[in-house]
Amino acid sequence: MAKSHPKGLIILALSNMGERFGYYTMLAILTLYMQAKFGFSSAETSMIYGTFLALVYFLPVLGGLVADKWLGYGKTVLIGICIMFFGYLVLGLDLGNEAMGISVMFLSLLLISAGTGLFKGNLQALVGKLYDDPRYSKNRDIAFSIFYMFINIGAFFAPSMGNAITNSILSKEGYYYDAAVPGNYVRLNDATVDPAEFTAAVAQDTHNWSELTADEQAEKITKAKKSKGVMFPAEEAQVLFNLKLAGLHQLTYAGKIAPNDPMAITEQDYAIMASRAPEDAARQAEIRERVANVEVPASLLPAGGTGDFARDFGQHYVATTLSKSYSLAFFVACISLIISILIFTLFRSTWKYADVTAKQAAAKAAQAGVEVETMSKEEERQRLIALGLVFMVVIFFWMSFHQNGLTMTFFARDYTMSKVPSSGYIPFSLLMLIPFICFMYGIYLSLFGLLGSKKNPVTGVILIVVGILGLVGGYFVDIKPIGDALRNITPQIFQQFNPFFIILLTPVTVGLFTYLNRKGKEPSAPRKIGIGMLLAALGFVVLLVGSIGLPDPSTLEGTSNVLVSPYWLISTYFVLTLAELFLSPMGLSFVSKVAPPKYSGLMQGGWLAATAVGNLLVGVMGSFWDKLSLVAFWGVLIGCCLLSAVFIFSVMKKLEAVTEG
């Protein structure tokens, strides 16, 4: 690999990896943060999220102009990292949830998007410049696949970091993550909503804490801590909060409501409340009144509250504890950017020679009296048209794909099981996933070679053994202690599966393309993009099938009463990752190869601008989340991907002619 690629590739990839780790740590929790701290609705959150992503991916157009015309790529990248750092720093500050807090949040998002605009496209342009060298030019596609894999190594660890911080902060207060609490708290503070009308079925893992002996309580606490938290004492308050908002009460307290007390809520009463049948309206009103009169034990009321259990608990859980965990995760992004700055500047010598814009090259040539060969206006026009056609297609890919941070996160929160047994937790454990990657890389290296390198059975066997030992250790450290308990999973953790599959499958796609290239059958970059669009449609077909029979988002009051297996989302991420591997790194390579030299930075910015339009449409599409059925929502995304595939295959000859030229 060292002979096939310049040293600068790894340095630039590592710089990007650190920045992407911080970015995706922030992105994994951004929608949850906005709703938990500020109480934004799904539609408001969708528009803010979509607008932010649009800026993140549109501003590289301006960043490309700045680099091409004035500063060059290296200086522009460095300035961008510094601006992003201050953006994450400001985002982590807790300035309340009123006008000041909201204004500061918007300012921080603007700084992050502006810094990304200077950083992202120009770093990619630098990678492309490295492969203008004839010694490396034939490995351009593989280089961008490797570069893209490093992006996703950073993204892979990001959700777990956010997840670990959230769970750690919550557990210090005796809580565990419950998706129903933030949603119910938002609705509780909505003056137009009557809390007694909520019917969320959230009575899972309830227990009568007050009736346990001291030894039994201690045993439950110990078990909870070993399994990373399902049964803390404050869990009773947490479940009670959700049930009171639902108009239900299934917990019993000594001297308050005994199991045989005529005031107790029965399973039949619960069914009546959940069905909301009109003929049972009088019975429902009676049950609501009964629950409203339940006296909450003082031990479950947060200190310093008003005495209103629902509001005090919700304020303490959501606005204080959960929001604090999100703020700390934003500071993690600051640390990762410092690491990126150090890598980028300390190893500047590996990429400095490629940091030459067309304008700078022309000036040097003029001083040396050398005539520079320029591209004709007609060829420039044809290349720009071809790039424009590809940009049109990727708009709809990113509109669909980036639902992962928005509506797919809503699906994870509202429709997916948030508690899994020990066997079901294996895909969510980093201590299992990391050694599995190691094991698979050992297989790749032993049998086929890895990322363009030759087979190395000895190193491959070492990786296989290390992987197996890691899997065994991970099982005994992170899986076996769960025992019969259930482990909680947070919505943001699902976002680790896309980068996990990128890391796992990049050697497979690189090996496939290398093999086809040797046979003279490798698809062109535009054809790979078309195949990627077809695979994206298939990914949402998986999610559509998993959504059949689920209630519409507009009918939810809390989380769904019907929850599906996490494997529906995991399977969707697997197929969407295959689509991304065919489309995104190939698109970067295509832009790098086809862009006229004097527009290198601008065209990398153009690729990201197309991504920006797609991300803006993410928010537009997300605003229909609670207006369409789930099947209809995923169906729209499937249709957009299929139409885009049809379009790119219809102009394939034009695109391939420019590529070959």
User: Would you list the DSSP string of 279-327?
Assistant: GGHHHHHHHHHHHHTPPPPGGGSPTT--S-HHHHHHIIIIIIIIHHHHH
**How many angstroms separate the CA atoms of 33 and 45, rounded?**
10
Which residue is it, tokens 């997300």? Answer: 622
**How many angstroms separate the CA atoms of 651 and 526, rounded?**
9
Quote the DSSP letter at residue 484: T
pLDDT higher than 60, residue 201: no
Which residue is it, tokens 């050398």? Answer: 370
pLDDT tens per residue, range 258-283: 334 444 445 455 455 544 456 667 77
Confidence band of 216 (pLDDT split at 50, 70, 90): low
Backbone angles phi and psi of 204, in degrees to 5: -105, 140
**How many angstroms separate the CA atoms of 193 and 323, rounded?**
23
Rg (CA), the chain: 27
pLDDT higher than 70, residue 368: no
Quote the DSSP letter at residue 475: I
Stated pTM of the model: 0.68
461-468 average pLDDT score: 94
**Displacement of CA 178 from its chain's centroid (Å):** 19
Percent of the chain with pLDDT over 90: 18
Mean pLDDT of the chain: 77
Least confident of 239-248, 415-424, 649-658: 239-248
Confidence band of 246 (pLDDT split at 50, 70, 90): very low
Confidence band of 110 (pLDDT split at 50, 70, 90): very high
**How many angstroms separate the CA atoms of 259 and 366, rounded?**
92
The reported pLDDT for the residue numbered 112 is 94
pLDDT higher than 50, residue 535: yes
C-beta neighbour count of 44 within 10 angstroms: 15
Among the listed residues 416, 425, 514, the one whose alpha carbon sits nearest the alpha carbon of residue 478: 425
List strand residue ranges (DSSP E) for 564-619, in order. none
**Displacement of CA 285 from its chain's centroid (Å):** 42
Distances (CA, A) of 443 to 143, 426, 506, 513, 545: 22, 21, 14, 18, 33
**How many angstroms separate the CA atoms of 357 and 129, rounded?**
9
Residue 448's contacts (CB-CB under 8 Å, 6 or more residues apart) are 455, 507, 511
pLDDT higher than 60, residue 203: no
pLDDT tens per residue, range 499-517: 899 889 988 888 888 788 7
What's the CA angle centered on 439, arms 434 and 441, to 5 degrees? 95
The reported pLDDT for the residue numbered 221 is 46
416-436 average pLDDT score: 87
pLDDT higher than 60, residue 194: no
Residue type, 429: S
Least confident of 45-59, 347-361, 378-392: 347-361
pLDDT higher than 50, residue 150: yes
pLDDT higher than 60, residue 379: yes
**Displacement of CA 620 from its chain's centroid (Å):** 18
DSSP 178-189: -THHHHHHHHHT
Residue 24 parent element (H or E): helix 8-38
Residue type, 529: I
pLDDT higher than 60, residue 60: yes
225-229 average pLDDT score: 37
**How many angstroms separate the CA atoms of 97 and 433, rounded?**
37
Residue 48 near residue 40, CB atoms below 8 Å: yes
Least confident of 102-106, 249-253, 405-409: 249-253
pLDDT higher than 80, residue 160: no
21-37 average pLDDT score: 81
Cβ burial of 194 (10 Å; 0-12, 13-18, 19+) is exposed
| Mutual angle of helices 180-188 and 235-245, in 10-degree steps | 50
pLDDT higher than 90, residue 568: yes
**How many angstroms separate the CA atoms of 236 and 217, rounded?**
12
pLDDT higher than 90, residue 398: no
